[in-house]
């Protein structure tokens, strides 16, 4: 992880009608990571995003994006290198899907060759037929329109993507598919994503780090495993008490690596099976039963290895933690 943040908020405070929305908040988001801000409605999550995009003027504090201070002089350049995905997709209804996808690349004077290559790649990742490019938004389903909204944000391969509860209005199946799509595109283009949600399971699936926001402050900023296993406050504990990650078979396999149960090099004399980091533990038992080891992948790189003993150590630690409660 680079030492230079893509986003740096320093002692940020925002007020609406003399009511504090953000209170002396600091946050660093580093290149290529996905940081999820989670919390109840009205806690300040969206205000943080609106401040970063220049839609809200802070009462105090400083914002730096891609190394540039957020001010009137730099605002246009910052926005041109930023993608934004909202709950309301806001595709241009009088433009075809291709026109919607090429508008920002044209504004940025991106080459047509690169734009077309990117669109083909994104359409394939989204499993949308290429002939959809000639259709208009009202000819697509709501889920398909949301896919196009995601593709549009990634279309110029910006360094930073802001996502404000983009899937909250969708049915569970569509929501899960679009989460997977976002993770797949992130893995391909290696952008930085700041993602807002009020869904704890979505936060655990999407985030490499999770920030719990309440009353305009970040109560805990940590890995998903630490958020669930070692909540910093009673509020954080309550927030995640019903999350799927507390069901042990549903924990994402990368969490075991991040928590230190694996090792950085392969185990000797065990066949290797490549496994995506967002695969759940329960789906990996059959591989371990064949006396194979897991090479856990994230951003097309192996981040660590797990064998059967690694899993037993994790389960034993989990059982001991439960017994001590």
Mean pLDDT to the nearest integer, 51-61: 93
Q: What is the pLDDT of residues 138-148, one digit of tens each?
A: 999 888 888 89
- Using 50, 70 and 90 to split pLDDT, how confident is the model at 33? very high
Supply the DSSP string of 266-277, one letter for each residue. Answer: PPTT--EEEEET
- Using 50, 70 and 90 to split pLDDT, how confident is the model at 177? confident
Mean pLDDT to the nearest integer, 201-226: 90
Distance CA 5, CA 118 (A): 26
Q: Record the tokens describing residue 223, joined without a space.
A: 């890995």
Share of the chain above pLDDT 90, in %: 48
Judged against a pLDDT cut of 80, whether residue 288 lies above it is answered with yes
In this prediction, residue 155 carries a pLDDT of 87
Q: What is the mean pLDDT of the chain?
A: 88
Tell me phi and psi for residue 268, to 5 degrees. -70, 145
Q: Record the tokens describing residue 308, joined without a space.
A: 């059967």
Q: Record the tokens describing residue 7, joined without a space.
A: 């986003």
Mean pLDDT to the nearest integer, 142-158: 88
Distance CA 257, CA 23 (A): 34
Q: Record the tokens describing residue 6, joined without a space.
A: 């893509």
In this prediction, residue 293 carries a pLDDT of 95
Domains along the sequence of the chain with CATH = 7-246 (3.40.50.300), 249-323 (3.90.1280.20)
Mean pLDDT to the nearest integer, 221-247: 81
Q: What is the pLDDT of residues 76-103, one digit of tens each?
A: 999 988 998 887 777 899 999 999 999 9
pLDDT higher for 244 or 14?
14
In this prediction, residue 319 carries a pLDDT of 65
Judged against a pLDDT cut of 80, whether residue 150 lies above it is answered with yes
The model's pTM: 0.75
Mean pLDDT to the nearest integer, 201-217: 91
- Using 50, 70 and 90 to split pLDDT, how confident is the model at 318? low
Give the chain's end-to-end CA distance (angstroms, integer).
35
Share of the chain above pLDDT 70, in %: 94
Mean pLDDT to the nearest integer, 164-168: 87
Q: How many helices (H) and strands (E) does the chain have?
A: 12, 13
Judged against a pLDDT cut of 60, whether residue 259 lies above it is answered with yes
- Using 50, 70 and 90 to split pLDDT, how confident is the model at 8? very high
- 266-289 burial: b if 16+ Cβ within 10 Å, else e: ebeebeeeebebbbbbeebeebbe
- Using 50, 70 and 90 to split pLDDT, how confident is the model at 226? confident
- Distance set, CA 254 to CA 20, 63, 267 (Å): 37, 31, 17
Judged against a pLDDT cut of 80, whether residue 255 lies above it is answered with no
- Using 50, 70 and 90 to split pLDDT, how confident is the model at 7? very high
- Using 50, 70 and 90 to split pLDDT, how confident is the model at 234? very high
């Amino acid at each position: 992880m680079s030492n230079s943040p893509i986003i740096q908020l320093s002692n940020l405070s925002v007020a609406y009608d003399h009511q504090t929305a953000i209170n002396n908040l600091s946050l660093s988001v580093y290149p290529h990571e996905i940081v999820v801000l989670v919390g109840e409605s009205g806690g300040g999550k969206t205000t943080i995003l609106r401040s970063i995009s220049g839609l809200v003027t802070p009462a105090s504090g400083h914002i730096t994006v891609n190394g540039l201070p957020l001010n009137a002089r730099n605002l246009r350049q910052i926005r041109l290198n930023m993608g934004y995905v909202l709950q309301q997709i806001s595709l241009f209804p009088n433009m075809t899907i291709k026109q919607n996808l090429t508008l920002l690349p044209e504004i940025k004077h991106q080459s047509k060759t690169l734009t077309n290559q990117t669109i083909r790649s994104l359409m394939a990742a989204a499993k949308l037929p290429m002939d959809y490019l000639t259709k208009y938004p009202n000819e697509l389903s709501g889920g398909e329109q949301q896919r196009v909204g995601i593709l549009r944000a990634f279309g110029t391969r910006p360094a930073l993507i802001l996502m404000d509860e983009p899937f909250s209005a969708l049915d569970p199946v569509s929501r899960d598919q679009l989460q997977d799509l976002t993770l797949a595109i992130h893995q391909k283009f290696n952008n930085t994503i700041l993602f807002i949600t009020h869904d704890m399971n979505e936060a655990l699936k999407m985030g490499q780090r999770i920030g719990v926001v309440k009353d305009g402050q970040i109560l805990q900023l940590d890995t998903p495993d630490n958020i669930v296993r070692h909540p910093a406050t009673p509020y954080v504990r309550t927030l995640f008490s019903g999350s799927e990650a507390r069901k042990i078979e549903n924990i994402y396999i990368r969490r075991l690596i991040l928590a230190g149960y694996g090792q950085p090099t392969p185990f000797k004399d065990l066949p290797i099976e490549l496994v995506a980091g967002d695969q759940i533990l329960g789906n990996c038992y059959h591989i371990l039963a064949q006396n194979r080891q897991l090479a856990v992948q994230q951003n097309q790189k192996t981040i660590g290895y797990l064998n059967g003993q690694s899993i037993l150590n994790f389960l034993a630690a989990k059982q001991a933690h439960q017994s001590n409660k």
